[in-house]
Amino acid sequence: MKNRISKLICLALVITSLSCSDLLDVQAENSLAGDLLTSQAFMEKALDGAYFNLFGIYDGGNGGELLGGDFKMIATLFLRHQTQEVSWQSEDFPDYLQFSQKSVTNINPRVEANWIRGYETINLVNGILESIEVIEDQTAKEEIQGQALAIRGLLYFEMVRFWGPQYESSTTGSPAIPIRTKAIHTKADIGTTTLSSVGEVYQRAVEDLEQASTLLNGKSIPASKISYAACQAYLGKISLQKGGVTEFGKAEGYFTNAISEGFILNASPLDAFNNATASTEDVLAINQNIVSSTGNLSSATGLSTMFSSLSSTGYGAMQIVATAFDPLQKTFIPNNPNFYEVDLRHSIQSNTTSTSSPNEIDSAFYQNGVRLSSSKFLRNTDVIPVIRLSELYLGRAEAIHEQVFSSPIDPLALSDVNRVRTRAGLPALLDTLSAFEFLDSIKVERAREFLYEGVLFHDLKRWAVNDAGVSIAFGQDPLNSKFILPIPQTECDASSGLCN
C-alpha cells in the first residue's frame, strides 16, 4: 500500500513539474510585449506612437499636451494681464488658472502632464533610434530616423523654452532640464537623472534637427509629419530664440530653405484655421479626427474644448469679456495687437449664440452673449497648425532686418512682412520706415498673426534680452523666473538631488 501511495505522490509531482513551464506560457488578447522594434512595420507604428504623444492626442487620461495644446495654452495664459481679457472658467478648469495668475506651483497637474508626456515621447523616439538598423530599405530608414531625431530635437527646444531661462550669454550654463538620449525599457535602465544646462539642451536640439534635415531633405513628407521644411523652420525658430547677429544670419538661411519647399499662403488669414486637412500654408500641422483628437467635451481636454464657446464643441473657458468699446482695438489683448478695423484677423461676428454651429462662424472672433471668443480652434476634428508659412516670412523678415538694421528697409524683409499684412487686408508698408519702426511693425504683426498660437510669449522673452522696455502682461519682466515652469514635485521626489 505504501508503494501505491508513493506512486501517486510521484505521479502528482511529475505532472506538476512537467507541465509547469508550458502551462504558464499564457498570452492576453491584443497584447504586444517584449522587443517589438524588429521590423519596419513596427518601427513605423512606433513612430506614429511618438507623434500620438508629441501631438497630445487624448489617450483616455491625458490629452492636449505639448504641441497639441498646452504649449499654446500655457504661453497664452502667461500673457494675460487682466481678468476681462481672458475670463478663465476656474471652477471647471482650475488647473490652468495658475498660468494666468503667474504663480505656477510644482504640483500643477498640467505642468506634470506636459513634463511626463514630453519625456514619454523622447523615450519612444530614443527606442526607435536605437533600433534603426532593423530597417533595410534605405529611404524608409532615413525617413524614420530623420523624423525621430526631429521629434527629439524640437521637443528639447520646446521644453527648454518653458522649463529653462531664456537663452542668453549669462544663462547658457544654467541648469535647465535633463537630456535623455538612451531608451529606458526596464528598471535597470533608469540610472540617475541630472539637469543639463540651457546651452547643452539647445545644442542637443540643433544637432538633432540638423541631422534630421540631412536625412529628410528631398523626401516627400506630408504636413502632418515632420518634413525637411519643418526641421528647417524649427532651426530658424531656435536661432531667433538664441538671438545675436550670427544666429540671425543662420535663421535667415533656415527660413529661406523652408520657404522654398513650396508652401502657399492662403488667400485670407482666416482660411488657415478650421480645416479638415492641412492647408497650403501649413508647414507642420496636427491632424485630428473624431477617433484621434486632443480631446472632446467629455474628456474636457484640447484646444477647441477650451476656446470654443459653442456648446456643441467647447466650454469656452478662454474668453474675452466684451465691453461697450471694441476690446480688440484697445490694449486689452496681450501685448496689444492694435488691430485696425480693416484687419480680417480682427473681424467680429455678433449674430451667434451658444447653440450656433461651428460652420456658421466665418470671422476671427464671435460674440456669444457678453463674451468674445476666438474662432481659431472651433472643432476637435480639424487640423491644429503648429508652424504656418506666415511664421517663416515674419521670422525671415526679422532675421534679415536684425542683421542689417537700416533704412531703407531690405526689400526681401519688407516683402515678407507685406505678404502677411496685405492678405489680412492691411496696406503694404513702405521701405521708408525707420529701422526701429520696421522692427516694431514686425513685432506687432507677430502679435496679430499668431494671437493664441503660443508664439508671442517666447518672442517677448527673446526681445526682452536686449530691450528692458519689453514687458509681459502689463508691465512685468518676461525674464522673471515666475515665467519659468517648475520641475514637477513628483519628479523632484523621485530623482534625489535634481531640484536642489
Q: Find the binding residues for other proteins in span 290-309 (CB under 8 A).
A: 290-292, 297-298
478/465 Cα distance (integer angstroms): 9
One residue of 170, 190, 260, 350 binding other proteins per CB under 8 A: 190
Spell out, one character per residue from 130 to 169, where the chain touches other proteins: x when CB under 8 A holds, - when not: ----------------------------------------
**By CB under 8 A, which span of 301-309, 341-349, 400-408, 490-498 interacts with other proteins?**
490-498
98 binds other proteins (CB under 8 A): no
23 binds other proteins (CB under 8 A): yes
Site for other proteins in 60-89 (CB under 8 A): 61
122 binds other proteins (CB under 8 A): yes
57/49 Cα distance (integer angstroms): 10
Q: Rank residues 45 and 330 by Cβ distance to other proteins and give the closer one.
A: 45
Q: Rank residues 246 and 277 by Cβ distance to other proteins and give the closer one.
A: 277
Site for other proteins in 219-248 (CB under 8 A): 224
100/473 Cα distance (integer angstroms): 9
Task: Please work out, in degrees rounded to the nearest 5, the angle formed at the alpha carbon of residue 124 by the alpha carbons of 287 and 236.
Answer: 60
Q: Report residue 371 as a C-alpha cell.
A: 463674451
**By CB under 8 A, which span of 38-46, 227-235, 408-416, 459-467 interacts with other proteins?**
38-46
Direct distance between the N- and C-terminal alpha carbons of the chain, in angstroms, rounded to an integer: 74
One residue of 3, 27, 481, 500 binding other proteins per CB under 8 A: 27
Q: Give me the least distance between CB of 478 and other proteins, in Å please.
A: 26
Q: Rank residues 46 and 364 by Cβ distance to other proteins and give the closer one.
A: 46
Residue 100, helix vs strand vs coil: helix
12 binds other proteins (CB under 8 A): yes
Strands (DSSP E) along 196-323, which ranges?
196-197, 282-286, 320-321
Q: Rank residues 119 and 162 by Cβ distance to other proteins and give the closer one.
A: 119
Q: Report residue 286 as a C-alpha cell.
A: 496636427
One residue of 67, 74, 92, 305 binding other proteins per CB under 8 A: 92
Q: Rank residues 298 and 469 by Cβ distance to other proteins and give the closer one.
A: 298
The amino acid at residue 46 is A
108/487 Cα distance (integer angstroms): 10
Rounded to 10 degrees, what is the CA torsion of 188, 194, 196, 197? 180
483/473 Cα distance (integer angstroms): 11
Question: Cα–chain-centroid distance for residue 95?
Answer: 19
One residue of 62, 76, 123, 352 binding other proteins per CB under 8 A: 123
Q: How many residues bind other proteins (CB under 8 A)?
A: 79
Q: Rank residues 8 and 245 by Cβ distance to other proteins and give the closer one.
A: 8
467/187 Cα distance (integer angstroms): 47
To the nearest 10 degrees (0 to 180), the angle between helices 109-130 and 70-79 is 140
Q: Report residue 170 as a C-alpha cell.
A: 549669462
**By CB under 8 A, which span of 30-38, 227-235, 444-452, 460-468 interacts with other proteins?**
30-38
One residue of 108, 287, 294, 374 binding other proteins per CB under 8 A: 287
| Tally of residues, the chain | 500
Q: Give me the least distance between CB of 474 and other proteins, in Å please.
A: 22
Assess contact for 346 and 340: CB atoms under 8 A.
Answer: yes
Q: Rank residues 108 and 390 by Cβ distance to other proteins and give the closer one.
A: 108
184 binds other proteins (CB under 8 A): yes
Strands (DSSP E) along 389-471, which ranges?
none
The amino acid at residue 255 is F
Task: Please work out, in degrees rounded to the nearest 5, the angle formed at the alpha carbon of residue 281 by the alpha carbons of 279 and 283.
Answer: 100
Q: Rank residues 26 and 468 by Cβ distance to other proteins and give the closer one.
A: 26
Residue 349, helix vs strand vs coil: strand
CA distances from 296 to 62, 366, 386, 481 (A): 12, 21, 19, 33
One residue of 66, 73, 74, 124 binding other proteins per CB under 8 A: 124
Q: Rank residues 239 and 299 by Cβ distance to other proteins and give the closer one.
A: 299
Q: What is the DSSP letter of 122?
A: H
Maximum CA extent, the chain:
115
Q: Give me the least distance between CB of 331 and other proteins, in Å please.
A: 24
**β 365-368/348-349 pair status:** parallel
Q: Give me the least distance between CB of 21 and other proteins, in Å please.
A: 8
8 binds other proteins (CB under 8 A): yes
One residue of 40, 90, 268, 422 binding other proteins per CB under 8 A: 90
**By CB under 8 A, which span of 13-21, 77-85, 164-172, 395-403 interacts with other proteins?**
13-21
409/434 Cα distance (integer angstroms): 8
Site for other proteins in 312-331 (CB under 8 A): 312-313
One residue of 24, 267, 324, 468 binding other proteins per CB under 8 A: 24
**By CB under 8 A, which span of 176-184, 301-309, 325-333, 414-422 interacts with other proteins?**
176-184
Q: Rank residues 53 and 375 by Cβ distance to other proteins and give the closer one.
A: 53
Q: Give me the least distance between CB of 28 and other proteins, in Å please.
A: 4
Site for other proteins in 336-375 (CB under 8 A): none
CB burial string 39-53: b at 16+ within 10 A, e below? eeebbeebbebbbbb
